[in-house]
Amino acid sequence: MQNFEFYNPTRVLFGKGMIAKLDEQLSPETRVLILYGGASAERSGTLGEVRAALGSRTFKEFGGIEANPTYETLMKAVAMVREEKLDFLLAVGGGSVMDGTKFVAAAVPFEGEPWDILTSKGEAVKKALPLGTVVTLPATGSEMNCLSVISRQSTGDKLLFSNPLVYPRFSVLDPMRTMSLPMKQVINGVVDSFVHVMEQYMTHPVDGMAQDRFSEGLLSSLIEIGPRIMATPDDYDLRSNLMWVATLALNGLIGAGVPHDWTTHMIGHEITAKYHIDHARTLAVVFPALLKVCREAKRAKLLQYAERVWGLKDGTEDERIDAVIRKTEGFFENLGVPTRLSAYEIGADGINDLLGQLKDHDMTHLGEHGEVTLDVSRKILETAA
Ligand SMILES: NC(=O)c1ccc[n+]([C@@H]2O[C@H](COP(=O)([O-])OP(=O)(O)OC[C@H]3O[C@@H](n4cnc5c(N)ncnc54)[C@H](O)[C@@H]3O)[C@@H](O)[C@H]2O)c1
């Protein structure tokens, strides 16, 4: 196992009706900014519950944070926080609102041009406002990590930063708040969580016994949850399981002490930046192709995944690897999530553009050994064509 530090200060308040507990988490003097996305937060009653829980505290609201949150919109929230002298940020939404709120938290006290938060990958952040979240979409794990992904409309960039100062102080996970989601978003959450686990698991073995078995448990859970949640969307227990699996997939636990390979996310971000395709859907395109192209580097873990998650024990090693890649593709496809660029009408010109973007963003040595050069990324994208 590799050396690691594990730190996660986020308090999780899980279950039906837990939004009421906001009252215990915030002092009566706290001046809160509620940040949210679209009309669904109001329509579903989530905002109403949040307002009721805040009681007589001073609070303002900032709506309109878009999917794939933009710097341009978030800077308006930064101005509002500064002007109104607010001192706590409460994100009510999915990954986009939570990530956007983390950016606002870091940008309010930032001296200089806040876009440097992104270009420095978070290293420039020295202070941040405290924040909490009320999760409405289980997918990103943003509720219990210190990562944030922000887009800039004017340049077409989509960059991420991380800094321990933007861990949420608390996150409310009430599965009932996910019932208003369109099924497409629920399934996006299944796929996003699945690939999060994979990016911390599908590398090479370092004998992280607990990490591997946690990961395999999360993958098996998602393989079970996906089709069942499509068949019975109102099942509270399934919603609960998806919500907790999504959080565990990216809160640092399974990734401690093991190698990571975030190639799929990095290529996926470029696809979203250029074509505005849902984040999770880009991952379903890139990940199976990555497995095909990098199968030698990942041979041992592919065989372990085949046996422990899919029960594939028969045949030669190569037959089992072929079979498990087919199973993975089939899992996405059966959820109605395409695994080919052609499903989005992205052809050879598009691939060239995406490689240009990867180069511009210094994504020239991805993978657990830095072996995913631009040539390898080209092979991955061509394999996904
Ligand atoms: N911070 C991280 O660790 C991390 C990890 C992966 C991805 N991301 C980023 O997160 C973003 C994606 O977040 P996401 O997948 O959670 O989706 P999202 O937050 O972009 O939401 C997708 C859509 O669902 C709507 N929605 C949210 N909750 C709803 C509800 N309960 N009912 C009805 N509609 C609802 C939103 O308004 C939006 O239109 C991307 O920008 C991605 O890059 C962050």
Q: Is the distance from CB of 210 to CB of 256 less than 8 angstroms?
A: no
Q: Is the distance from CB of 371 to CB of 227 less than 8 angstroms?
A: no
Q: Which residues, at least 6 apart from 83, have a Cβ–Cβ distance to it below 8 Å?
A: none
| ipTM of the shown complex | 0.99
Ligand 1 centroid from CA 42, angstroms: 16
The position carrying tokens 């090693």 is 317
- Ligand 1 atom 2, closest CA: 142
* pLDDT score for 156: 86
The position carrying tokens 């099924």 is 183
* pLDDT score for 235: 98
Is 133 a pocket residue for ligand 1 (Cβ < 6 Å)?
A: no
Cα separation, 86 vs 279, in Å, equals 31
Q: If the chain, 385 residues long, is cut into consecutive pieces of 10 residues, what is the mean pLDDT of each piece? A: 97 98 96 96 96 97 96 98 98 97 98 96 98 97 97 91 98 97 97 98 98 98 98 98 98 98 96 94 98 97 98 98 98 98 96 96 94 97 98
Pocket test for ligand 1, best of 143, 144, 185 (most atoms within 8 A of CB): 185
**Residue 265 CA to its chain's centroid (Å):** 9
Pocket test for ligand 1, best of 10, 19, 40, 70 (most atoms within 8 A of CB): 40
- Ligand 1 atom 39, closest CA: 67
Pocket test for ligand 1, best of 36, 40, 92, 96 (most atoms within 8 A of CB): 96
What atom in ligand 1 is closest to the CA of residue 97? 19
- Ligand 1 atom 40, closest CA: 68
